[in-house]
Amino acid sequence: MALNRAMIFLGPPGAGKGTQANRAAKRYGVPHLSTGDMLREAVAQGTELGRLAKPLMERGELVPDNIVMGMVEERLARPDSAQGFIFDGFPRTVPQAEQLDKIMVRRGLGKPLVVEFHVSSETLLHRVSGRWTCSVGGETYNIYERPPKVPGICDVDGGKLIQRTDDSADIVRERLAAYDRKTKPLADYYRQHGVLETVDGSKGVEEVSRALNEIFARAAGRDGHL
Ligand code: AP5
């Protein structure tokens, strides 16, 4: 069954959006589009966009909507997203969501399916403090919950594992505050549009995946496409 829509994973830092988006993208054969990963790549490459985004990301603030929208539109123009895609970390403000709606109409794609991840602040802080990411393929580990077989080395491609510079406790608190101020209102926006689902993101990775698959199956039964 074709995905033919945008799936949006909404949730605070450390909620497990990236982990689940990666799994779901493989399952449904569509791209996993993380605006955080795109911005980190721009920073690493030292592009103009990266130079603009770097200080904001280091402070845990959001990057301005116009910059993010330009980046997303450019990414969606690639042929691999013609059959749908999974967004992780986007949209993050109501204006971003409104602009995405217009893009979806232009592309003739159905309504998005939005899943909000619920996780306590205590669990979020614990997860983020234990996160290590592969510097080559981007696979994510957690030293408490899902450690690599060899410390510091990715199980998948042998890449070196690194910690994100914005994962320090004080910056994570800033990111959580930005989430509460600017991103949480999106849940109401999508609820009013009748497309919001929620998942208990505090469960284990497999259990959350199963819950998401049930949500996708229910949506497919309702709309005829996922
Ligand atoms: P971004 O990269 O999007 O970060 P985030 O939204 O803060 O989310 P995280 O990547 O921290 O968490 P996650 O939910 O993906 O969790 P993960 O799966 O890794 O954004 C970074 C910055 O970029 C922003 O602060 C902003 O400046 C900028 N930005 C990005 N998008 C933007 C936009 N649209 N507009 C404006 N600015 C933007 O899991 C976390 C850890 O927990 C991992 O170690 C993982 O292994 C573990 N884990 C995951 N699931 C489970 C589970 N079920 N049980 C136990 N452990 C788990």
Which contacts (CB < 8 Å, 24+ apart) does range 131-137 have? 131/14, 131/163, 131/164, 131/167, 132/161, 132/162, 132/163, 133/161, 133/162, 133/163, 133/164, 134/159, 134/160, 134/161, 134/162, 135/159, 135/160, 135/161, 135/162, 136/160
Query: What is the DSSP-derived secondary structure letter of residue 81?
Result: G
Which residues are tagged catalytic? Answer: 17, 92, 131, 164, 175
Instruction: Check residue 5 and give its pLDDT.
Output: 81
Rounded CA gap, 117 and 115, in Å? 6
Long-range contacts of 138-147 (CB under 8 A, 24+ apart): 138/37, 140/18, 140/19, 140/22, 145/204, 145/205, 146/205
Q: Does 5-30+83-120+179-223 carry CATH code 1.10.1510.10?
A: no
Asked if 214 and 115 touch (Cβ cutoff 8 Å), the reply is: no
Q: Which atom of ligand 1 is nearest to the CA of 207?
A: 53
pLDDT of res. 2: 61
Q: What is the pLDDT of residues 117-136, one digit of tens each?
A: 999 999 999 999 999 999 99
Sign of CA dihedral 22, 217, 87, 123: negative
List of the chain residues with pLDDT < 70: 1-2, 224-226
Given this model, what pLDDT does residue 220 score?
81
pTM of the model: 0.94
**pLDDT for the residue numbered 107:** 84
Ligand 1 interacting residues, C-beta cut-off 6 A: 11, 13-19, 34-36, 39, 56-57, 60-63, 68, 88-90, 92, 96, 127-128, 130-131, 140-142, 145-146, 175, 204-205, 208
CA 106 to centroid of ligand 1, rounded, Å: 29
